Amino acid sequence: MSGLTNEEVAFYKKNGYLLNHKQLFSAEKLAELTGIFEDQLAQKGSKLSDELDTPHFRDERLLKFLLSDEALDLVEPLLGPNIGLWSSHFICKDPFVGRATPWHEDSAYWKGRVDRLDKIVTIWLAIDPSSRENGCMQVIPSTHDHGFSEYEAVDSTKNLFSTQIKNLDTSQSVHFELGRGECSLHDARIAHGADANRSPYRRCGYTMRYFATDTKVFPEKNKNFKVWLARGKDLAGNHYANV
């Protein structure tokens, strides 16, 4: 188990995020994952490149990566030994036209779907290099303990979402610049966003989202949505696609 050091866990708990400048997967596995992404991109039809949400529902080859020891060893020090797969999303920002990601908390969009939001972790894996130039993710450190923010409407033709956090001070934001195959981790409650891609370089990331299984997933609020038991055992009476 590679996992995280005690210092890295402490940093994550204090700040709500962690940059992991190490290769998550081998070069062979990363190439395989990239190939699956390119397949998804070719089949997207009228969807925009940043709208490839829950691709593992359509292509179960992705479960090889989502349920891998490499990914689970990384989140276990933060969630404990009983882990569920919550979701995944290819977020691809095309050169020059890739939309901005408004400042938001993931927890705001998941409110009411689970009974707690303090034990959900996202791995953001860089399929392409991610830099300030091509609109890398940014976070406001330690905002994961602030509760729900107030939101306002934004133009959804220019933004990935139609709302953003209102009156947010972004002067202390941290940019997640990552090489291909490197990743970051962030708490579902932290304020984060990304600028539009105005560069000639594509920026694709794969978000891999996990929850501790003492979190209750409400079936009636998650119609046509599936979660997997990734490691350990269920502690909340959830229904899993693979059990």
pLDDT in tens, 60-110: 999 999 999 999 999 999 999 999 999 999 999 999 988 899 999 999 999
Q: What is the pLDDT of residue 98?
A: 84
**Residue 104 within a domain:** yes
Contact 182, 126 (CB under 8 A): yes
- 165 forms beta bridges with 151
pLDDT digits (tens, 9 = 90+) for 198-216: 999 999 999 999 999 999 9
pLDDT band of 3, cuts 50, 70, 90? confident
How many CB atoms are located within 10 Å of the residue 38 CB? Answer: 12
Dihedrals φ, ψ of 145, to 5°? -105, 15
**Residue 239 within a domain:** no
Among 102, 100, 99, 101, which Cα is nearest to 165's? 102
* Total domain count, the chain: 1
Q: What is the pLDDT of residue 13?
A: 97
Whether 1 shows a pLDDT value over 60: the answer reads: no
pLDDT digits (tens, 9 = 90+) for 137-192: 999 999 999 888 999 999 888 887 889 999 999 999 999 999 999 999 999 999 99
**Residue 1 within a domain:** no
pLDDT band of 57, cuts 50, 70, 90? very high
What region, left, alpha or beta, does residue 113 occupy, with left being phi > 0 and alpha being psi -120 to 50 degrees? alpha
CATH number at residue 70: 2.60.120.620
**Residue 237 within a domain:** no
What's the domain range around 143?
6-231
Q: What is the pLDDT of residue 45?
A: 74
Alpha helices (runs of H) in 90-243, residue ranges in sequence order: 106-110
Among 240, 214, 218, 216, which Cα is nearest to 229's? 240
Average pLDDT over residues 49-58: 85
**Residue 241 within a domain:** no
Contact 107, 188 (CB under 8 A): yes
pTM of the full structure? 0.95
Contact 188, 117 (CB under 8 A): yes
pLDDT digits (tens, 9 = 90+) for 38-52: 999 888 877 767 668
Residue 141 CA to residue 192 CA, distance in Å, equals: 9
Buried b (16+ CB within 10 A) or exposed e, 102-115: bbbbbbbebeebbe
Whether 238 shows a pLDDT value over 70: the answer reads: yes
pLDDT band of 2, cuts 50, 70, 90? low
**Residue 238 within a domain:** no
Summary mean pLDDT of the chain? 94
**Residue 192 within a domain:** yes
**Residue 112 within a domain:** yes
